Amino acid sequence: MSNDPDWHACAAIVERGDGARFRAAMAAPAQARAILFPIYAANVEITRAPWVTAEPMIAEMRLQWWRDVMEEIIEGREVRRHEVATPLARVLSKAGAEALDRLIAARCWDIYKDPFEDATAFTAYLEDTAGGVLFAACDALAKVNAKVAKDAGYASGLASFFQAIPALEDAKRVPLLDGRSEAIVDLAKGGLSRLKQARKLRGSLAKHGCIALWQTEAVLKQAASDPRAVGEDRLEVGAFKSSIQLSKAALLGRW
């Protein structure tokens, strides 16, 4: 692994593009990192695709490229040579590739400036994006419960989405169907409820695949108690508290 240039490329992509998951992966054992970095790097590349161009057609082509990769993995065909796709094919199962394919489809929302159709569409977006990454990671690590991954992924995705709202609004997007403080509080409490449900069966998810959830509860609690922090870009976890929570998630599996 240490001499694999693709692995190092994946790690570098995650370090540059997803600091939270990079820290989570680095807190896992080396054997788990070898699995997590290609999955997290693919997620970074897929997530970036709608934002690197102002042309919707080009963005759709970029996402389609990744859908073609997932199709190759699902069908067991030889996967095209690529610094992320190649190591990804070595760690991803058919079910994991199907989850990432749904993630790619969900990311089409990021291309356009239309709001979500309804609350159901917003929920599905979070379940298929953050939930898809979590499912793929835990499945590759050999322990996953789809329902638990969906609940935990929704909570994690909501926390990250709240943190991204100022940037989305700057980009002239309409991130929330209802941006009132009361609605944000309700969303945050709903995310905390689903996180609580997932925790009851946390043993059904691979421990090292869940380290990335370490800040989820703190961010959602802050949004619930101070909904204005969402729009004012003040959702953050202090460095000391963050380190303690990361250690608990890595060593004890407490997220």
Give residue-wise pLDDT tens across range 141-170.
Answer: 999 999 999 999 999 999 999 999 999 999
219, 235 contact by CB (below 8 A): yes
Convert the pLDDT of each residue in 243-254 to its tens digit: 999 999 999 999
Mean pLDDT (the chain, rounded): 96
pLDDT of 180 strictly over 70 = yes
Q: What per-residue confidence (pLDDT) applies to 2?
A: 62
135, 126 contact by CB (below 8 A): no
pLDDT of 1 strictly over 80 = no
SS3 205: coil
Q: In the predicted model, what is the mean pLDDT of residues 215-222?
A: 97
Convert the pLDDT of each residue in 93-141 to its tens digit: 999 999 999 999 999 999 999 999 999 999 999 999 999 999 999 999 9
Report the C-alpha gap between 182 and 187 in whole angstroms: 9
Q: What per-residue confidence (pLDDT) applies to 239?
A: 87
All structural domains of the chain, each given as residue ranges with its CATH number in brackets, are: 5-252 (1.10.600.10)
Convert the pLDDT of each residue in 19-66 to its tens digit: 999 999 999 999 999 999 999 999 999 999 999 999 999 999 999 999
- Please, which residues have CB within 8 angstroms of residue 251's CB and are 6 or more apart in sequence? none
Report the C-alpha gap between 43 and 177 in whole angstroms: 25
pLDDT tier for residue 240 given thresholds of 50, 70 and 90: confident
39, 88 contact by CB (below 8 A): yes
